[in-house]
Structure 1
Amino acid sequence: MTGSAFPRPAGELTSLLRDIRAAAADDTMPELGYRAYRDYFDTGNRLRYERHYFRRRARLAARAAQALLDPDTDLGPLSDTLWSVCDEYTWALPAHVRHSADQDRGPEQCLDLFAAETAHTLAETVAALDGRLDRRVADRVRGEVERRVFVPFTDPRPLNWEGYRNNWEAVCAGAAGMAALALLRDSPTDADRLAAMLGRSRAAMDRYLAGFGGDGGCAEGVDYWVYGFGYFVYFAEALREHTGKDLLAGPKVAEIAAFPHRVALGAGAYAPFSDASERPWLPAGLLTRLAERFGTPAARVVPSLHDDHCYRWGHLSRTLAWFRPGPPATAVEATSFLPDLAWVVSRGRFAFAAKGGHNDEPHNHNDLGHFVLHTGGRSVLDDLGAGEYTAGYFGPGRYEHLHPSARGHSVPVIDGQVQLPGADRTAKVLRYRDDGQTVNFDLDLTAAYQVAGLWSLVRRFRWWPDGRLELVDEIDADRELPVEEVFVSRVEPTLSAGAADWGGLVRLGHECPRASVEEVTAADHHARPDRVYRLSCRTTAPAGRSVHRFVFDLG
């Protein structure tokens, strides 16, 4: 869609268009003053600044979309918005401005995710409105995109995120590359510069793809698949339009495209491992293009403008440009096993998901052997997903926060010791087998712990799709070890002798002599109170080999 207005929107986009008109008509433009900027550095809080920042991006995206949808739109309000964004001290978030230090640049030239996304929004808007927008506004936008993004992106020194091999590579390089295509593609004098920038973007995309295993699984979860792979696709299609080179060709990309459908629990829910959410929004335009290219399921729901609280132009513009109603959803395999990621997801009337992997994954949680049980439209034995992003959440004290810690997952505590972080803290897959009647998934979790005398800890899952899970932990030790088996839910369980019941949705039978429930409240990703119930079944593993069995029945 580079350099052009949108086609006539499909009728299914009516509610989205209504959202755009309402947001474009809103005259409030929050200020990003010094007190807001310094708040993160003083307190570690990200949300107070970011709420103002993203409300500004909502105004920018809505007014840009409205102008491209309706040629009779008064461009005065959009011009004011563009000018105001050009006035911002930095387009990066305060939590990210340190990323400019490697090039000895100030915050105004920090090329983070959001600076790149801002440049992309501004560049495509100015290019598409060429001849309609006041030249003084257009020239200022071009100058700010050049200074803030193109200059650091053409500096040969490495950028801090180059080498991350995660969503940062795809978003930063993809958005910067699309901005360059929008503003430089029609300038013969900029041909060499554009080629160099596109080459840098393509190198980042190669590294991004290298971060996936052959199964196409995204360790960061579906939300970050939407983010990173979305921008990979948007850039790939813009590049294909410009050069004919197709980055979407190849079997690994097809596997990545299928990822969310392979980890779906049903009815709009997905396995929420890592810093993910159970009900992420999937951009309708992205799903439409993937369905066309790979035959994956088409979009069934057109999200609201406000489902993306960051108001990213990549997602919004490609939904407006690409979305077309698709055929009914194709059938997805009942059980998916992603061997590189070491995830199993089985879906039907009931759903079960479990994971292995290692404890140094992107957006890592200490969660080897963790599992989810989903029934009645909700995950009852749950994964908490992302907590509130603060300075501490991404600092040395990350695992003091409930959501990413082992305490926030349904994994055992051995001799008072929880799982530890690190790439060497791994879960070895011993067996995966689906015979059509049951799903078996066995993991060796020994390396996740550092407990004197613990020789072996093996967790075995046996899942019946009619709603029954048998969980067995086999412990081999040279001494007696206290064991605390933990099961995490947002539903408060009731306890009885040898049993627990989560609201009639899931029932547990166990042989632990002592069981108790701890209520813990933490902050969720949006800083709202997140009330969690940790069921602890305490027992003792004697010296030698012992078996600890738990049976869950779903209703």
Structure 2
Amino acid sequence: MRTQRLITIVCLLFWTATHLYAYEERNLLQKEADFEKVKSALLMDQKWLPYPDYSDRAGWDKFLGDYKDEYIRKGESFLDYEWKVVKATDYLEFGRSGNRTIMESPFNKNNSALGSLFMAEMAEGKGRFIDQIINGVFVSCEMTSWALSAHLGLQKIGGCFPSYEEHVIDLGSGNLASQLSWIYYYLKPSFDKVNPLIAKRLRHELQVRILDAYMNQDHFWWMAFNLKPGELVNNWNPWCNFNVLQCFFLLENDRDQLAKAVYRTMTSVDHFINYTHEDGACEEGPSYWGHAAGKMYDYLQMLYDGTGGAISVFNQPIIKNMGEYIARSYVGNGWVVNFADASAKGGGDADLIFRYGKATGSSVMMGYAAYLKSLSAKDAVPGGDVFRLFQTLLYRKDLAGTEVAYKAPVYSWYPETEFCYMTNKNGFFVATKGGYNNESHNHNDVGTFSLYLNTTPVFIDAGVGTYTRQTFSSERYSIWTMQSQYHNLPLINGVPEQFGSEYKATDVQFDPKRMYFSANIATAYPAEANVKKWVRSYRLGKNSLKIEDSFSLDKADRPNQINFLTWGKVDISVPGIVTVEVNGEKARLAYDKDVFVSTVKTIRLDDLRLSNVWGEQIYRVSLNAKKLPLSGSYTYTITTIK
């Protein structure tokens, strides 16, 4: 039975998840088309492009519509832009202090300026921006590498300093290369009028840095060509492959070479689809959806366009499931369910969601996209990377004519990823999870929950701070946001959950009739926790959320501690009661005062990535057990206060 049916059929009463690593040899793309089909289906010489030629001024006026003048004005602001130099010490700083922003800031400013100048020239078409675009292209070509300092570990030589002997394809180099490929395609004739060496140099750099590197290297982990059992395939895979596909489709006009490249990207992207559970959930969270499933959609759309629709997997249920996850994870008022490194704020790119929904025939996505669009009083000028910007312009009228339709489902159950969302008619939205502690962008959070009242988060997942070297290193779990004791979870015998694929939820169950979710999370803790069983369960009632921990220990060395993360105003002055007030929403957490004593820890947020969401501080409420039982159960009930 397919996952979509499992999610939607109300008669489903019970599911026990048995597999967390669900890598499945679907190979949808390779089954859809072998090499010969790819070769014969390709639309050569960029005939697939649905956009006007550079010289078609009437076409661009129509294509850009009311946005034309805005693009020109923005480009004008960069006519005197001083191009930044990414210094050697900017790269070295990542190795010295872990700071990646020092290198990325000037690099991103240059790329943003170049993109704005390109769009201004496409809008105006008079050559006024060409010299400054050439300056940006030249600066880019003179760089040793287009990869980010944090990603230069992909070099065979390793490190954070760019090697002149090899080229790395990462998110940074791919993003810039795809933008430069669009510039080359549209502006080569204009460059040649200035000096033929300009376009020739650019074409050479794109060839050696991207086209040759992609075809001749297979050690980049995101390609997944050397994938071992249990290894991750995350958003890097569709994101990098899509950037590469753009470069090949815009630059390569030899059918044999193009077919080899396209088929190679298909075999790589198949690994991402194979890695994703059939239920379609993004284990990295909603704020990564646009880079994961969203980039996969971009890739599939370009593959569809570049082959005249001959190669398409948009009818596959898993592709639709992956898209609809973003709509189902929306709580309301800009808040989303945020597990792992994802932010609690977002909702997604309405234009991207609409296009994805249109391609897969998902009324859920199209209605949700129209809903997101309706929240903005002003129609923003489309931005972002060139492909998404052009696609937004291409489909904007279709989205404008789509009926607004969004309502949080009664529940959403992802039986393989083990995410469960439950709602009731009184404003409760509960998000729970099982999973395992080696998911992409993992936090040690097996069994945790978030609770929203009338779309306001009350019991929360803090998310993640600004990325540094430490974030993706052996030191990751020294960061407090990654640790289970800073999630809504117990410390068992004073021991937190452990990182690793073997630390996971077991006996995960969901009963939609009872609105009941449970998981044995004992298996997420290391041996020193001395826990035989710890079943964490959530039961959503009409006016309450009941949480229960049923446990059995081998030894009781230290008092158990049950932690809850929240924000707003917290009051623990009454034994047995924790009161939380956030943005006008009031909740009461009731516990047994004879079993626990409560404490509150204030967590100051000096990282803007966190404080921009939660303010200056959040709180950890801890229920500290008074006794050391070997077995028993704890119950905590959350209700609203009118």
Partner of 1:175: 243
Secondary structure at 2:319 match in 1: helix
Listed as ranges, the matches of 1:462-541 within 5 Å are 462-464=539-541, 466-480=542-556, 482-496=559-573, 497-503=575-581, 504-511=585-592, 512-522=595-605, 524=607, 526=609, 531-540=617-626
Percentage of pairs with the same residue: 21
Partner of 2:171: 113
Asked if the contact 2:545–2:637 (Cα under 8 Å) also holds between the matched residues in 1, the reply is: yes
Asked if the contact 2:61–2:68 (Cα under 8 Å) also holds between the matched residues in 1, the reply is: no
Counterpart CA distance in 2 for 1:403 and 1:229 is 25
Offset of residue 410 of structure 1:
0.8
Asked if the contact 1:60–1:78 (Cα under 8 Å) also holds between the matched residues in 2, the reply is: yes
Secondary structure at 1:195 match in 2: helix
Offset of residue 38 of structure 1:
1.4
CA offsets 1:192-223 (integer angstroms, 9 cap, x no match): 22111111111111001012111001101112
Asked if the contact 2:589–2:636 (Cα under 8 Å) also holds between the matched residues in 1, the reply is: yes
CA offsets 1:35-58 (integer angstroms, 9 cap, x no match): 222111111111222222222222
Counterpart CA distance in 1 for 2:521 and 2:65 is 51
Partner of 1:381: 459
Listed as ranges, the matches of 1:71-470 within 5 Å are 71-72=125-126, 74=128, 75-101=130-156, 106=163, 109-134=167-192, 135-163=196-224, 164-184=232-252, 187=253, 190-243=254-307, 244-280=310-346, 282-293=348-359, 294-295=361-362, 296-298=364-366, 299-300=369-370, 301=372, 311-323=384-396, 324-325=399-400, 326-347=402-423, 349-435=427-513, 438-450=514-526, 451=528, 453-464=530-541, 466-470=542-546
Letter in 1 for 2:81: D
Deviation larger for 372-381 or 420-429: 372-381
Gaps of 5+ in 2: 1-47, 53-59, 225-231
Match of 1:53 among 107, 119, 130: 107
Counterpart CA distance in 2 for 1:36 and 1:375 is 45
Gaps of 5+ in 1: none
Letter in 1 for 2:238: A
Counterpart CA distance in 2 for 1:86 and 1:63 is 17
Secondary structure at 2:639 match in 1: strand
Structure 1 residues 456, 213: closer, same or farther in 2, change over 3 A? same
Matched, 1:549 2:638: no
Offset of residue 191 of structure 1:
2.0
Counterpart CA distance in 1 for 2:381 and 2:111 is 11
Counterpart CA distance in 2 for 1:307 and 1:322 is 11
Letter in 2 for 1:145: L
Asked if the contact 1:66–1:73 (Cα under 8 Å) also holds between the matched residues in 2, the reply is: no
Deviation larger for 130-139 or 532-541: 130-139
Match of 1:69 among 116, 123, 127: 123
Asked if the contact 1:231–1:314 (Cα under 8 Å) also holds between the matched residues in 2, the reply is: no
Counterpart CA distance in 1 for 2:158 and 2:473 is 22
Offset of residue 3 of structure 1:
7.9
Partner of 2:38: none
Secondary structure at 1:227 match in 2: coil
Secondary structure at 1:547 match in 2: strand
Structure 1 residues 532, 499: closer, same or farther in 2, change over 3 A? same
Structure 1 residues 83, 161: closer, same or farther in 2, change over 3 A? same
Deviation larger for 204-213 or 347-356: 347-356
CA offsets 1:353-375 (integer angstroms, 9 cap, x no match): 11110001011000011111112
Counterpart CA distance in 1 for 2:304 and 2:460 is 41
Deviation larger for 154-163 or 101-110: 101-110
Offset of residue 28 of structure 1:
4.5
Offset of residue 318 of structure 1:
2.9
> How does the TM-score come out when normalised to structure 1?
0.90
Partner of 2:42: none
Counterpart CA distance in 2 for 1:11 and 1:505 is 47
Offset of residue 495 of structure 1:
1.0
> How does the TM-score come out when normalised to structure 2?
0.79
Offset of residue 274 of structure 1:
0.8
Asked if the contact 1:36–1:49 (Cα under 8 Å) also holds between the matched residues in 2, the reply is: yes
Counterpart CA distance in 2 for 1:14 and 1:548 is 62
Q: Higher strand proportion, which one?
A: 1
Offset of residue 550 of structure 1:
0.7
Asked if the contact 1:215–1:338 (Cα under 8 Å) also holds between the matched residues in 2, the reply is: yes
Asked if the contact 1:273–1:383 (Cα under 8 Å) also holds between the matched residues in 2, the reply is: yes
CA offsets 1:382-415 (integer angstroms, 9 cap, x no match): 1111222111111111111011111321110011
Asked if the contact 1:2–1:181 (Cα under 8 Å) also holds between the matched residues in 2, the reply is: no
Structure 1 residues 500, 531: closer, same or farther in 2, change over 3 A? same
Counterpart CA distance in 2 for 1:221 and 1:162 is 21
Say how many residue pairs are matched: 546
Structure 1 residues 28, 281: closer, same or farther in 2, change over 3 A? farther
Offset of residue 283 of structure 1:
2.6
Counterpart CA distance in 2 for 1:305 and 1:36 is 34
Secondary structure at 2:199 match in 1: helix
C-alpha RMSD of matched pairs (Å)? 2.9
